[in-house]
Amino acid sequence: MHINSFDHYQTHESVIHRLDARVKIILTIILIISNALLPDGAWTAFMLTWGLVLGASLLAKIQFLFLATRSLVVMPFALAAITVIFSIPGHALGTIQLGNWQVVVTEPGLLRFASIMIRSWVSVQMAILLTATTTTPDLIHAMRHLRVPDILVATISFMYRYLFVLSDEALRLLRAREARSAALDNQRKHHTKLRWRIKVAGNMAGQLFIRSYERSERVYNAMLARGYQGTLQTLNPHEMKTKDWMMGSIVILALVLLQIITHR
């Protein structure tokens, strides 16, 4: 498997790509917090924030379609909020007949639901933009500067390093199963017992665990042989330049202003 099958980094040359990873992470988090602080129904403020995200993605040459399709990841969770449409009492807008149930759509309910969805949707687009314009090694390295404990950062970078290796291993196991049991999850599944299917999946997970565990022992020995002393070294100097400070403060200022105006 190629590394790009998971990684959503988009290779372009742009101001946003060149921006320091720390600044991008902090701006992303502040923008998401700002969204959380905006009251329900602050449509103008939501639109302005979304405009900011879109403007940044335009600068970064990220296609809108990419943002839009990737941002569908939040959709399944809409289930959790959908019932709020019927559950907040208020002015009734209409009635929906669901079999024997009659549910009433209320105005405050709809307002709350739309606000939750927009908040979530704009936030996830910002997070997508972050990963689309920052390589994962830079992202991980920036976490160290942001005071994430060294051990956690090193563990994350190891996980990232072996993510593809082990996903490949898992895919090989899945392919082997498909080859040997005639495309299990399609037409033939009636011929096998659930108990057997569970056992096969469990054996695969166990097999994957043992291969991973033994790999970690080999990797550690190899690291020792190469002079590992407990921390990972990097050759990539992360420096904050004037441009980074400027860009960061302008966006933060804009978001603070937005909050002040909305809450006035």
Partner 1 sequence: MMHLPFLPRPIALHIPDGFLSLPVAITFWLISIVFINMAIRKTRGQFGERQIPLMGIMAAFIFAAQMINFPVAGGTSGHLLGGALAAIVLGPWAGMLVMVTVVSVQALIFQDGGLVVMGANIFNMGLLTTLVGYGLYRGAANRSRKFQLGTAGFAAWMSVMAGALLTAFQLWLSGTSPLRIVFPAMLSVHFLIGLGEAFITVAALTFIFQTRPDILSDVQSQGGRGWILTGALITLAVLLISPFASGNPDGLERVAMNLNFIQRGAEAPFQILPDYTIPALGETGLSTIIAGGAGILVVAGLTMGIIWLIRKPRHIES
Closer CB to partner 1, 246 or 256, in the complex: 256
Using the rule CB under 8 A, which residue among 174, 251, 252, 254 binds partner 1?
174
**Count of residues making up the chain:** 264
Whose CA is closest to 120, among 204, 194, 205, 53? 53
Q: Which of 191/242 has CB closer to partner 1?
A: 191
Residue list 91-130, contact with partner 1 (CB under 8 A): 92, 98, 100-104, 106, 112, 116-124, 127-128
Report how far residue 238's alpha carbon sits from residue 138's, in angstroms, rounded to the nearest whole number: 9
The residues in 65-94 that bind partner 1, with binding defined as CB under 8 A, are 69-77, 79-84, 86-89, 92
Amino acid, res. 258: L
The one segment of 15-23, 27-35, 49-57, 245-253 that binds partner 1 by CB under 8 A: 27-35
The correct pick among 47, 68, 151, 250 for binding partner 1 (CB under 8 A) is 151
Binds partner 1 (CB under 8 A): choice among 64, 202, 241, 243: 202
Give the CA distances from residue 241 to residues 25, 237, 246, in Å, rounded to whole numbers and listed in that order: 16, 12, 9
Residue 11 binding partner 1, by CB under 8 A: no
Structure tokens at 203: 């054996």
Q: Which stretch binds partner 1 (CB under 8 A): 47-55, 158-166, 243-251, 256-264?
A: 158-166
With tokens 């498997």, the residue in question is: 1
Q: Which residues contact 259 (CB under 8 A, 6 or more apart)?
A: 34, 37, 38
